């Protein structure tokens, strides 16, 4: 495993729409292992592949509920609303208040290509929404109703 450099806002790679993962091979596993090591070292709640310069639909989420890898994730249902603080490893020194669904249902594949369905709420749902936005070139600062330096 290796720590990867986290791309910062202003880099065009963060503004691209990512391609689906089609091959569940050692290249993907190495990417995910490196993303895991990077998000833990940086103490983030999640990391998306474009943040390490890879335009593929893969994210990791590391929250109270545990560590998760979501490949080709799609939100299939959402409910309610929550407003709260977010930060991003690609937007250093800032945080902002963003409105997100309170509950989401997520369809995704694991690192072996197996399909799963997961329900998440609260901060876990927020982290999922934030990371999935990265796969379409969207940053939380695009949606925040308030941003401050921290
Ligand atoms: Ni982010």
Tokens encoding 144: 């925040």
Has residue 139 got a pLDDT over 90? yes
CB 101 within 8 A of CB 127: no
CA atoms of 94 and 86, how far apart (whole Å): 9
Q: Where are the domains of the chain?
A: 12-149
Has residue 43 got a pLDDT over 90? yes
> Per the residue annotation, which of 37, 131, 145, 148 is the catalytic one?
131
CB 84 within 8 A of CB 67: no
Instruction: For residues 107-111, give the mean pLDDT.
Output: 98
% of the chain surpassing 90 pLDDT: 99
**pLDDT tens string 17-35:** 999 999 999 999 999 999 9
Ligand 1 mean position, distance from CA 131 (Å): 6
Per-residue pLDDT band for 66 (boundaries 50, 70, 90) equals very high
Half-sphere exposure of 1 (CA within 13 A, CB side): 12
- Homologous superfamily (CATH) for 12-149: Peptide deformylase (3.90.45.10)
Has residue 1 got a pLDDT over 90? no
Ligand 1 mean position, distance from CA 110 (Å): 20
% of the chain surpassing 70 pLDDT: 100
Q: What is the pLDDT of residue 54?
A: 98
Ligand 1 mean position, distance from CA 141 (Å): 9
**Annotation says 131 is catalytic:** yes
Ligand 1 mean position, distance from CA 9 (Å): 10
């Amino acid at each position: 495993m290796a720590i990867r450099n986290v791309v910062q806002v202003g880099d065009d790679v963060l503004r691209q729409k990512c391609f689906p993962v089609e091959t569940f091979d050692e290249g993907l596993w190495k990417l995910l292992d490196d993303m895991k090591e990077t998000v833990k070292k940086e103490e983030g709640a999640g990391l998306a592949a474009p943040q390490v310069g890879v335009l593929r639909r893969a994210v990791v989420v590391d929250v109270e509920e545990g560590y998760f890898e979501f490949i080709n994730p799609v939100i299939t249902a959402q409910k309610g609303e929550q407003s709260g603080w977010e930060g991003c490893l690609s937007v250093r020194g800032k945080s902002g208040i963003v409105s997100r669904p309170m509950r989401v249902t997520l369809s995704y594949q694991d690192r072996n290509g197996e399909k799963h369905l997961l329900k998440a709420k609260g901060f876990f749902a927020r982290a999922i929404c934030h990371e999935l936005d990265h796969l379409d070139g969207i940053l939380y600062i695009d949606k925040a109703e308030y941003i401050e330096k921290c």
